[in-house]
Amino acid sequence: MAADDRLTDPATPEDELARRLRDVYRRVAAASMSPEEKERTARRFVAICDLAKRDVDHACSRLDAFLADLEAESDTPRERNIAECD
């Protein structure tokens, strides 16, 4: 399935939120978590998606908090994933 071209170069705040939601969906789907934790995380994500239909600004702030929590639960922060070279 090809990505929507509008989401690669967002023109509006709604497009930017849609791109971020798509990216977070992929991260949650690929995350290695216990089934219970994955279900809880998915439910929280769905609540943010539902909120985005009514209040884009509030959904953006909730998504920021969600991403911060997702990063905090990650066992290996991104900054340490890159191997150092000589």
Query: Where are the chain's structural domains?
Result: 12-71
Mean pLDDT across the stretch 26-41? 91
Mean pLDDT across the stretch 17-22? 94
The contacts of residue 42 (CB under 8 Å, 6+ apart) are 28
Mean pLDDT across the stretch 17-29? 93
Query: Given this model, what pLDDT does residue 73 score?
Result: 75
Query: Given this model, what pLDDT does residue 66 score?
Result: 95
Q: How far apart are CA 66 and CA 42, in angstroms?
A: 11
Q: How far apart are CA 52 and CA 76, in angstroms?
A: 29
Angle in degrees, CA 47, 31, 6, rounded to 5: 60
- DSSP H helices, the chain, are 5-8, 13-30, 35-52, 56-73
Query: Given this model, what pLDDT does residue 71 score?
Result: 86
Residue 34 falls in which region: left (phi positive, over 0), alpha (psi -120 to 50) or beta: beta
Query: Given this model, what pLDDT does residue 75 score?
Result: 57
Confidence of residue 59 (pLDDT cuts 50, 70, 90): very high
Q: How far apart are CA 86 and CA 76, in angstroms?
A: 22
Q: Kindly tell me if the per-residue pLDDT of 1 is higher than 50.
A: no
Average pLDDT of the chain to the nearest whole number? 82
